């Protein structure tokens, strides 16, 4: 498996990230273990989660995904095969990016994950009420303590990311090495206009979330009827427009040419984009995972990429 670097760090990852938001939500513990085993068996190694997953589910408090991953580490003994990312800042009981909150939240996550260190620790959201240097200083302490290896930013604007990088350079504080924005064939404009230039300028790794647009780009949602009684159905309805159907038509065509699935093609398109290090995608079964893993082996032809680019062009 060809690997890619996380910024200027020595961490190397495969070109596909597994999104752990499903663990403890739409995938129970045993299913999650099977998916995780299959994931690393494919030669993939980067797993992304957050302390807030899955607090949105009735009866959950957050930390459910981390807890399942931690149990899998203990049972499987495969911690050494994984580049592990989690996040801080969005959980209601650990909200924000103050130094005190980060110090408490990282210990909570380490306990649930049953590990001594986190490879990549993300600021889940930009906390504009906390000075950027306070947040970076808190991360510096975690890095010195061996609790965190690399830090990343999720849901930052290009302007704020640039400001954080400038402060890190001026103050000798750790810099964000990796960015996690929303980006996929449908949701292109925000990343391509505001974040991609900053990431490329500073050689920051990019691991976009919603790689399949909440499942829309898999092709399984073709009408509002298809979204009913689905965990992510309400998130998909916004894609059911003329541009969305144009993208699905292009995905169908390219999938047919390559004897594969629309989901595989959608992820392969992202993997082929020079600024993208590895898209994040989730699966709730081993069979679904096979379709995702296939994207790392699919080399799209120039005409395939052009068709997808034109169908998804946000300028239209």
Closest CA to 123 of 171, 72, 175: 175
Cβ atoms within 10 Å of 305's Cβ, excluding its own: 15
Catalytic residue of the set 53, 139, 191, 239: 53
Three-class DSSP labels, 213-241: HHHHHHCCCCCHHHHCCCCCHHHHHHHCC
Q: Return the number of other C-beta atoms located less than 10 Å from residue 224's C-beta.
A: 11
Q: Specify whether 53 is catalytic.
A: yes
Positive or negative torsion for Cα 82, 103, 175, 162: positive
Asked whether the beta carbons of 188 and 162 are under 8 A apart, the reply is no
What is the spatial distance between Cα 41 and Cα 21, in angstroms, rounded to a whole number?
Answer: 20
Tallying the residues shown for the chain, one arrives at 316
Question: Residue 5 burial (CB < 10 Å; 0-12/13-18/19+)?
Answer: middle
Which amino acids are annotated catalytic? 53
């Amino acid at each position: 498996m060809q690997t890619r670097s996380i910024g200027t760090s020595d961490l190397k990852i495969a070109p596909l990230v597994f999104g752990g938001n499903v663990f403890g939500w739409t995938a129970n513990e045993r299913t999650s273990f099977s998916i995780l085993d299959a994931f690393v068996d494919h030669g993939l190694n980067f797993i992304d989660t957050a302390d807030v997953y899955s607090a949105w589910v009735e009866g959950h408090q957050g930390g459910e995904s981390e807890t399942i991953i931690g149990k899998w580490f203990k049972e499987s003994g495969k911690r050494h095969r994984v580049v592990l990312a989690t996040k801080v800042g969005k959980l209601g009981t650990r909200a924000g990016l103050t130094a005190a909150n980060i110090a408490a939240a990282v210990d909570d996550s380490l306990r649930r994950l049953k590990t001594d260190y986190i490879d990549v620790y993300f600021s889940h959201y930009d906390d504009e009420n906390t000075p950027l240097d306070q947040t970076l200083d808190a991360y510096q302490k975690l890095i010195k303590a061996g609790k965190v290896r690399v830090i990343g930013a999720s849901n930052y604007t290009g302007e704020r990311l640039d400001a954080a990088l400038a402060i890190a350079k001026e103050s000798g504080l750790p810099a964000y090495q990796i960015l996690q924005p929303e980006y996929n064939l449908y949701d292109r404009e925000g990343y391509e206009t505001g974040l991609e230039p900053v990431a490329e300028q500073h050689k920051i790794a990019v691991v976009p979330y919603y790689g399949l647009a909440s499942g829309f780009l898999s092709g399984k949602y073709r009408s509002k009827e298809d979204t009913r009684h689905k965990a992510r159905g309400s998130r998909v309805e916004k894609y059911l427009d003329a541009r969305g159907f144009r993208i699905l038509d292009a995905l169908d065509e390219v999938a047919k040419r390559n004897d594969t699935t629309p989901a595989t093609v959608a992820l392969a398109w992202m993997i082929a984009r020079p600024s993208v290090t590895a898209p994040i995608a989730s699966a709730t079964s081993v069979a679904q995972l096979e379709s995702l893993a296939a994207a790392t082996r699919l080399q799209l032809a120039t005409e395939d990429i052009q068709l997808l680019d034109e169908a998804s062009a946000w300028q239209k």
